[in-house]
Amino acid sequence: MSIHPAIAPGNVAVITGGANGIGLAAARRFAGMGLKVAVADRDRDQLALARQALGEGHLAIETDVADPASVAALAQQVAGQLGPVAVLMNNAGVGRGGDVLAPREAWDRVLGVNLLGVLNGVQQFVPAMVEGDAPGLVINTGSKQGITQPPGDTAYNVSKAGVKALTEGLAHTLREQTGGRVSAHLLIPGFTYTGMIARHLPQQPPAAWTPDQVVDTMLDGIARGSFYLWCLDNETSREVDNRRVLWSALDIVEDRPALSRWHPDWKDAFAAYVKG
């Protein structure tokens, strides 16, 4: 059974943040399925390695996803050298933006890449997918942190919560305008050992998944027709993840303090809830 009609030999896939981590794992997988792949990234050295890894017939293009003009140039180059895009994976991401009181420059950096970078990708590539008559697939990389909002890197949480809302809205728009011919999906990784993590942890922690495990789960979910492509890791079960998500939603329903999971008056109740 086909994973998705857009994932077919000869079709074109564009992956931002594609020079390492989840993006490179997806690029390798799509290339192995016979797609022509264009990876976009800001890191020239990693792009050179990605170009070697993918081989002939693929592109590795230096791109700043936070800059609309750079993404427009990416779209133009891909169209000119590879053809119409069937698969778009907006995957570029950065972290360590800080809490609400962190410097504005840190917020601008994180929101520019993680949220506006996704918007730039969607606005440059998706209109042509809608106007055409071929199957299309859009995958936007979110995060569990954009759903459960753990304290610490609030800028990152806000950016990924925005990606969730953006992708949900995009899925509805595509359903209305294309009847499902072009579909959108939200990739939700757990703890994954990517280049962003490797800068701070030189060895893969036992709890972390590999990027290839994330891509396996992503493709399985797309094949099932799932919108939320929920990934696990080696320390948290799906049952625990589900309870964390439900607890966060119940903060609103039950009028609890914000982020009550980490509130001293509620943390014991949360622990009991997770245990069931």
pLDDT at 217: 98
Strands 36-41 and 182-188: unpaired
Residue 51: which CATH number? 3.40.50.720
227 and 135 co-located in one domain = yes
153 and 209 co-located in one domain = yes
Q: What whole-number distance in Å separates Cα of residue 266 and Cα of residue 260?
A: 6
* Token digits of residue 158: 């806000």
The reply to whether 106 falls in a domain is: yes
- Of 87, 233, 231, 112, give the one whose Cα is nearest residue 163: 112
| Per-residue pLDDT at 276 exceeds 90 | no
128 and 253 co-located in one domain = no
Q: How confident is the model at residue 65 (pLDDT cuts 50, 70, 90)?
A: very high
Counting the structural domains of the chain, the total is 2
| Domain span at 250 | 237-276
Q: Which residues of 243-256 are buried (b: 16+ CB within 10 A; e: fewer)?
A: bbeebbeebeeeeb
Q: 185 in helix, strand or coil?
A: strand
Give the angle 236-249-143 at the CA atoms, nearest 5°.
Answer: 50
258 and 122 co-located in one domain = no
The reply to whether 4 falls in a domain is: no
Q: What whole-number distance in Å separates Cα of residue 159 and Cα of residue 179?
A: 29
**Model pLDDT for residues 191-249, shown as the tens digit of each residue:** 998 876 777 778 888 889 999 999 999 999 999 999 999 999 999 999 999 999 999 99
Mean predicted confidence (pLDDT) in 29-43: 97
164 and 248 co-located in one domain = no
The reply to whether 7 falls in a domain is: no
| Per-residue pLDDT at 1 exceeds 80 | no
Q: What whole-number distance in Å separates Cα of residue 73 and Cα of residue 2?
A: 32
The reply to whether 124 falls in a domain is: yes
pTM over 0.85: yes
pLDDT at 193: 85
Q: What whole-number distance in Å separates Cα of residue 54 and Cα of residue 161?
A: 32
The reply to whether 169 falls in a domain is: yes
161 and 262 co-located in one domain = no
Q: How confident is the model at residue 145 (pLDDT cuts 50, 70, 90)?
A: very high
* Token digits of residue 193: 């050992």
198 and 261 co-located in one domain = no
138 and 262 co-located in one domain = no
Mean predicted confidence (pLDDT) in 27-36: 98
Give the angle 182-42-153 at the CA atoms, nearest 5°.
Answer: 80
166 and 267 co-located in one domain = no
pLDDT at 133: 96
The reply to whether 149 falls in a domain is: yes
| Per-residue pLDDT at 15 exceeds 90 | yes
80 and 29 co-located in one domain = yes
Residue with tokens 């589900």: 242
Catalytic residue ranges: 156, 160
Instruction: Please give the mean pLDDT across all residues of the chain.
Output: 96
- Of 54, 53, 50, 52, give the one whose Cα is nearest residue 63: 50
Q: What whole-number distance in Å separates Cα of residue 88 and Cα of residue 17?
A: 12
The reply to whether 77 falls in a domain is: yes
Q: Is 94 exposed, middle or buried (0-12, 13-18, 19+ CB in 10 A)?
A: buried
Distance of CA 231 to the CA centre of its chain: 11
The reply to whether 2 falls in a domain is: no
98 and 220 co-located in one domain = yes
Distance of CA 247 to the CA centre of its chain: 24
Q: What is the dihedral of CA 142, 148, 152, 158, to 10 degrees?
A: 50
Q: 237 in helix, strand or coil?
A: coil
CA atoms within 13 A on the CB side of 164: 18
pLDDT at 30: 98
**Model pLDDT for residues 81-109, shown as the tens digit of each residue:** 999 999 999 999 999 999 999 999 999 99
121 and 86 co-located in one domain = yes
